[in-house]
Structure 1
Amino acid sequence: MATDRGTGTPPLLVLGKITKILDCFSVTEPEPTLREITQRSGLHASTCQRLVHNLVREGFLDRSGDRYRIGLSLVQWAAPGTFGLDIVQRIKPVLQRLCDGTGETACLYVRDGASRTVIAVAETRHVVMRLFKVGMVMPLHAGAPGKIFLAYDPAARADLVRDGLQRFTEQTPVDIDVLDEQAAQARTDGYAAAFDERHEGVGSISAPVFDHAGDLAAVLGIGAPTQRLTADDVDRLAPLVVTAAKDASAALGYRPSKVLGPRLAAPDLA
């Protein structure tokens, strides 16, 4: 008889079946029908129907007509699991893996008006590095992270236009139409790259981190001197950044409805 790994006890097969049923619910598709649950779970129709009805009776699921959704009892039980956990605690390990995988400093940013603030850092061991510190506040429109905020945060553009676009280098975008084009490209690619926009000799690559509701929660990325990070390195490093952002999103409970195309498939890290 098979046993649960590490416990020596037989697995409860019914829990696996219930997990398959609960996996049929997502933010993008919160109210499937019984037929849809049966198809997605791969369970036998009579088994699925019996378990769904039991889950409704116990309050794990609610039923409205021919559709089902996660029940309030299950939501209430899940709530204590979020206490004591914040975005930094959940994503810090992902940042460290990104730093280890790229050899460059990895940062996590949140937006405040027309600025972005570093809330977590995993520092590179390179002697020549770009200094990033938790609490650093930087302009939204200069650098790769800001393009991601503009691409996925509807309020970012209005805040930026209100505060104005200051030039820091010759490469700083100070035309909102140019930034709109860059944001559109970031949405298409799933990442943004920028060079020499905030400081000469600095490059960055960033990608979006989404929360359980599918909203932009933060921006994750790497930054480095252009002697190590140039436009020629983007095809190699961008997939690593995107994969890290996907891992960070998953840590926040995000379940994507679409997968990224082959251009940004996770690279072989072996």
Structure 2
Amino acid sequence: MRTAGWTDSVTVLDRVTAVFDAFGEHDEGLGVSELARRANLPKSTVSRIAGDLVAQRFLDREGDKLYLGVRLFELAQTVEKPRRLRHLAHPVMTELRDVTGRTASLAVLEGADVVILAIVRAEGGCAPPASIGGRLPAHATALGKVLLAFSRREGVARLKDGLPQRTPRTISDPAVLARELTDVRRLGVATDTEECSKDRVCVASAILDHGGEPVAAISVTAPASEAAPDRLAPAVRAAALTLSRRLDTTPDA
């Protein structure tokens, strides 16, 4: 049986969704009365919800008219960009998987974490430590370290909550991590050897835009007992360079 709190939260979400759904593609802005009629909600309820949504920039208000807000468009862009990136990366990831015989992953940096966007699995290969949509601490992963290394912002400074250890091998000293990021920038690849997950080795390289900023990172994962990171690194680096060039020549990618 649902608790009262759970029922209340679902009801609020349903009402907010009804308000958003009330807007049509060609609307020039809606007043609260029209918005309430379309959403089939009391005017007082819509007025209160609209006030909260305006405060959070999900709706814009001009006079007595309400419009879908800029924050919704910002969020839509964050969804569309990964979709295009996955589409562009998939053939390169497949080739990387075929060349190395290892599972390939694609990830982006979000705060102190990396978020996995795509995985191309190798038959019989070991799984990466996170599924699609999953998060991993950037400092503990090759994917995260290579993205931190090539970010113009000071990478270690982003890790405001410290460097928690996932395994005994995870780097937990910011000074040690900073030195490793310097090496990563020089080499163009990052590795983690059982730093994120036991018996897993990962090798990653950054996908850079035309200004040299990291857009994402691509990696391969292998069992620690079988991996030779130095042998995997050239193929991973080549895949990242290929994607960087394709991003540079693909509109809106």
The answer as to whether partners of 1:91 and 1:251 remain within 8 angstroms in 2 is: no
Among 220, 241, 244, the residue aligned to 1:249: 244
Q: Distance in 2 between matches of 1:243 and 1:127?
A: 21
User: Root-mean-square deviation (CA), in Å?
Assistant: 2.3
Question: What code does the residue aligned with 1:94 have?
Answer: V
Please give the residue correspondences for 1:32-71 in structure 2 after superposition, counting only pairs within 5 Å. none
Structure 1 residues 203 and 159, CA gap change in structure 2 (3 angstroms): same
Unpaired stretches in structure 1, ≥5 consecutive residues: 1-81, 255-270
Superposed CA offset, 1:95-126 (max 9, x none): 11101111111001101100000001111101
Q: Distance in 2 between matches of 1:88 and 1:211?
A: 15
| 2:91 equivalent to 1:93 | yes
Structure 1 residues 223 and 127, CA gap change in structure 2 (3 angstroms): closer
What SS does the aligned partner of 1:86 have? helix
Question: What code does the residue aligned with 1:210 have?
Answer: L
Please give the residue correspondences for 1:73-222 in structure 2 after superposition, counting only pairs within 5 Å. 86-126=84-124, 128-130=126-128, 132-155=130-153, 156-160=155-159, 162-222=160-220
- Structure 1, 131-140 or 199-208: larger mean CA deviation: 131-140
Higher helix share: 2
Question: What code does the residue aligned with 1:98 have?
Answer: L
What SS does the aligned partner of 1:163 have? coil
Q: Distance in 2 between matches of 1:106 and 1:129?
A: 9
Among 226, 234, 244, the residue aligned to 1:239: 234
The answer as to whether partners of 1:130 and 1:225 remain within 8 angstroms in 2 is: no
Q: Distance in 1 between matches of 2:224 and 2:123?
A: 16
Relative to the length of structure 1, the TM-score reads 0.59
**Deviation of the 1:170 alpha carbon:** 1.1
What SS does the aligned partner of 2:211 have? coil
Relative to the length of structure 2, the TM-score reads 0.63
What SS does the aligned partner of 2:241 have? helix
Paired position in structure 1 for 2:226: 228
Query: Size of the alignment, in residue pairs?
Result: 170
**Deviation of the 1:164 alpha carbon:** 1.3
Structure 1 residues 84 and 249, CA gap change in structure 2 (3 angstroms): closer
The answer as to whether partners of 1:129 and 1:225 remain within 8 angstroms in 2 is: no
Structure 1 residues 122 and 245, CA gap change in structure 2 (3 angstroms): same
Q: Distance in 2 between matches of 1:130 and 1:217?
A: 20
What SS does the aligned partner of 1:119 have? strand
Superposed CA offset, 1:77-99 (max 9, x none): xxxxx999711111111111101
Unpaired stretches in structure 2, ≥5 consecutive residues: 1-79
